[in-house]
Amino acid sequence: MIGTTEILVVSGVVILLFGASALPKFARNIGKARLEFEQGMQEARNVKNKAEEAKTV
pLDDT tens sequence across 28-49: 999 999 999 999 999 999 999 9
User: What's the confidence (pLDDT) of residue 41?
Assistant: 97
- The model's pTM is 0.61
3-state DSSP: the chain helix, strand, coil percent, rounded to 5?
Answer: 85, 0, 15
Q: Which long-range contacts (CB under 8 A, 24 or more apart) does 21-29 make?
A: none
